[in-house]
C-alpha cells in the first residue's frame, strides 16, 4: 500500500452533446444533485491532499457548482481546485493540464466526473494497489463503446484499446476500462509526455499510458470492480434515467435494510441524505429531498414531499403534504394537503389540517389550525385554535410583521389578523373579524360591520 500523498484528477470538461442540454454533462442531476457532486462525495472519503477538477465546456457553471458544494459530514477538508482544458484534445491532454499542480512524489488517481454510482469502499480498495500504474476494470455484458483491457498470454495487462481502434478479436473482449486510473505522479507525467494522437479520433488518450508503462517493464495492475453498476456513466438522457433508477434502488434498499417500511418502494424517490429511527413508514409516491431526519414511528403519507426537514418521533404526515425546512419537536399530525414552509416549528400535539399553509411560524403544544388557514411570521401559543379561513396578514408590501397569539386563544373562522398584532392568552376573536389592534386576554374581540337587511330588495334579472 502506498503512503504517498494522494491527488485526485476529476475529468469534468466534456460537453455531453448527446444530452441536448445547456448544462455540462457532469452537472446533469440524479437524485436531485449533479453527477459530479455524487462522485466527489465518494472521492473525498479517500482523504486526498487535493482534488483537481479539469473544466472546459461550461467551466463557469462547474466552478459555481464547486463553490457551493456541500461536503458530506465528516469529509476531509481537501482543497478543491479547477484547471482549464482550453482545447478538448482527449483524456490524456486533460490530465496533463493538472499535472503541473501535482508534486512528483504524489500518487495520482484519475476519475471521470460522470461516474456518480461508484462507492467509497471501491475507491478505497482500488487506492491500495501499489503498482506503478493501476486501472479499475469491469466485466461488461455488452462491451460496445468501452476501451478493452488487453492482456498478454500470462494475464498481465499490456494495454487498453478504444472501441474505434479495436480489431475484431479485441472487440470481443468483455473486460473493459472504467476510466479510473492510478499511478505514481512522476511516472505518469513521463508517460503522458510520450502519448501521441495517432488514432481515429486524433486525440491524446490517457489509456495509451498503459501500453507505454508495459513497454517500460512497469507492472500494470487491473482491479475488476465487483459491481459493474458502480462504473456506469451517462452520455444521453436515457442513460441518465438509468443512473437515476439505479441510485434510487440503492437508496431505498439502504433505508429498508435499516428498518424503514415502504409498501411500494419503486414509487418512492430519495433525493438526499436521510436519517431514520425505528418503525418509520414511507408510503407510495413520497419524495424525500435534502437533509431529512425521520424519528421513531414517523409516517410519511402518500404523495408527500419532505425537503430539509426534521420530524420528531410519532409525527404523522397525512397524504399530499409538502414540507420544506419545517421541524416538529414532538408527535403531531399534519395534513392532508398542507404546506409547511421554512421556519415552521410544531410542538407535540399540534394539528395542522387540510389546505393550511405556514411560514416562519411556531406552534405551541396542542395548538390547532385544522383547515383553510395561513400562519406566517407568527407565534401561536399552546392549545390555541385557528378557525377555518384564519389568516395572518404579515406583509405590508415592503416589510414582514409578526403576529403573537397567546395560549388557549380562540380565533373564529374567516378572521384576518393584521400584523403587527397581539392576541392575548385565552382571548376569543369573533368570526369574520379584521383585527388591527391588541385583543386583550380573557375577552371577546369582534371587529366586523353589523349585519342589516333591506326589505323589498329585488334581484336583478337577466336581459
24, 98 contact by CB (below 8 A): no
Q: Which residues are catalytic?
A: 371
Cβ contacts of 249 within 8 Å, gap of 6 or more: none
What local confidence, expressed as pLDDT, does residue 192 receive? 96
Distances (CA, A) of 275 to 28, 293, 301, 308: 25, 5, 17, 11
What local confidence, expressed as pLDDT, does residue 75 receive? 65
Structural fold of domain 251-445: UDP N-Acetylglucosamine Acyltransferase; domain 1 (2.160.10)
Span between the terminal Cα atoms of the chain, in Å = 94
| Helix runs in 31-150, H state only | 35-44, 59-67, 91-99, 120-127
Cβ contacts of 48 within 8 Å, gap of 6 or more: 6, 7, 8, 76, 78, 109
Q: Return the biggest CA–CA distance within the chain.
A: 109
The domain limits of the chain are 6-231, 251-445
Q: At which residue does the C-alpha cell 406583509 appear?
A: 395
As a whole number of angstroms, the distance between CA 136 and CA 327 comes to: 44
Question: Average pLDDT by consecutive 10-residue portion of the chain (463 residues)?
Answer: 84 92 95 95 94 95 92 74 93 95 96 96 95 95 91 90 89 94 96 90 90 93 94 94 96 97 97 96 97 97 98 98 98 98 98 98 98 98 98 95 98 97 98 96 94 90 86
pTM of the model: 0.88
What local confidence, expressed as pLDDT, does residue 78 receive? 78
What local confidence, expressed as pLDDT, does residue 74 receive? 64
As a whole number of angstroms, the distance between CA 92 and CA 134 comes to: 15
**CATH no. for 6-231:** 3.90.550.10
Residue 123 is classified by DSSP as H
* Three-state SS at 258: coil
As a whole number of angstroms, the distance between CA 415 and CA 439 comes to: 13
Q: Where are the extended beta strands (E) located within 68-226?
A: 79-84, 107-112, 133-139, 148-151, 157-161, 175-184, 220-224
What local confidence, expressed as pLDDT, does residue 2 receive? 47
As a whole number of angstroms, the distance between CA 220 and CA 249 comes to: 35
Distances (CA, A) of 52 to 48, 55, 76, 112, 183: 10, 9, 15, 12, 15
274, 254 contact by CB (below 8 A): no
Amino acid at each position: 500500500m502506498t503512503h504517498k500523498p494522494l491527488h485526485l484528477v476529476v475529468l469534468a470538461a466534456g460537453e455531453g452533446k448527446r444530452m441536448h442540454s445547456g448544462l455540462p454533462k457532469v452537472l446533469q442531476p440524479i437524485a436531485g444533485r449533479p453527477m459530479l457532486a455524487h462522485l466527489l462525495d465518494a472521492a473525498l472519503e479517500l482523504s486526498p491532499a487535493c482534488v483537481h477538477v479539469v473544466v472546459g465546456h461550461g467551466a463557469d457553471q462547474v466552478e459555481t457548482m464547486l463553490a457551493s458544494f456541500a461536503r458530506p459530514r465528516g469529509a476531509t477538508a481537501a482543497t478543491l481546485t479547477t484547471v482549464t482544458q482550453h482545447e478538448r484534445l482527449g483524456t490524456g491532454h486533460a490530465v496533463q493540464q493538472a499535472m503541473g499542480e501535482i508534486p512528483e512524489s504524489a500518487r495520482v488517481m484519475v476519475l471521470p466526473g460522470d461516474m456518480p454510482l461508484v462507492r467509497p469502499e471501491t475507491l478505497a480498495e482500488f487506492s491500495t494497489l501499489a503498482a506503478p500504474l493501476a486501472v479499475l476494470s469491469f466485466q461488461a455484458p455488452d462491451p460496445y463503446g468501452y476501451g478493452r483491457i488487453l492482456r498478454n498470454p500470462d494475464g498481465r495487462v499490456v494495454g487498453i484499446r478504444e472501441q474505434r481502434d479495436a480489431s475484431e478479436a479485441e472487440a470481443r473482449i468483455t473486460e473493459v476500462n472504467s476510466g479510473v486510473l492510478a499511478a505514481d505522479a512522476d511516472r505518469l507525467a513521463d508517460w503522458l509526455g510520450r502519448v501521441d494522437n495517432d488514432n481515429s479520433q486524433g486525440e491524446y488518450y490517457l489509456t495509451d499510458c498503459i501500453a507505454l508503462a508495459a513497454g517500460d517493464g512497469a507492472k500494470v495492475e487491473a482491479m475488476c470492480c465487483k459491481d459493474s453498476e458502480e462504473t456506469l456513466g451517462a452520455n444521453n438522457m436515457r442513460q441518465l434515467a438509468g443512473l437515476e433508477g439505479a441510485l434510487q434502488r440503492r437508496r431505498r434498499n439502504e433505508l429498508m435494510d435499516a428498518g424503514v417500511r415502504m409498501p411500494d418502494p419503486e414509487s418512492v424517490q430519495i433525493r438526499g441524505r436521510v436519517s431514520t429511527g425505528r418503525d418509520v413508514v414511507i408510503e407510495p409516491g413520497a419524495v424525500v429531498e435534502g437533509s431529512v431526519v425521520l424519528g421513531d414511528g414517523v409516517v410519511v403519507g402518500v404523495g408527500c414531499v419532505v425537503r430539509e426537514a426534521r420530524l420528531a418521533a410519532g409525527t404523522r404526515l397525512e397524504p399530499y403534504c409538502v414540507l420544506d425546512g419545517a421541524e416538529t419537536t414532538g408527535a403531531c399530525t399534519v395534513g392532508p394537503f398542507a404546506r409547511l414552509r421554512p421556519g415552521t416549528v410544531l410542538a407535540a400535539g399540534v394539528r395542522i389540517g387540510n389546505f393550511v399553509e405556514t411560514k416562519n411560524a411556531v406552534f405551541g403544544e396542542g395548538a390547532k389550525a385544522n383547515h383553510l388557514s395561513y400562519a406566517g411570521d407568527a407565534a401561536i401559543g399552546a392549545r390555541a385554535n385557528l378557525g377555518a379561513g384564519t389568516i395572518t396578514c404579515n406583509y405590508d408590501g415592503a416589510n414582514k410583521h409578526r403576529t403573537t397569539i397567546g395560549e388557549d386563544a380562540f380565533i373564529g373562522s374567516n378572521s384576518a389578523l393584521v400584523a403587527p398584532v397581539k392576541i392575548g392568552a385565552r382571548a376569543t376573536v369573533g368570526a369574520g373579524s379584521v383585527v388591527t389592534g391588541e385583543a386583550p386576554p380573557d375577552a371577546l374581540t369582534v371587529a366586523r360591520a353589523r349585519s342589516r337587511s333591506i326589505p323589498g330588495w329585488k334581484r336583478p334579472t337577466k336581459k
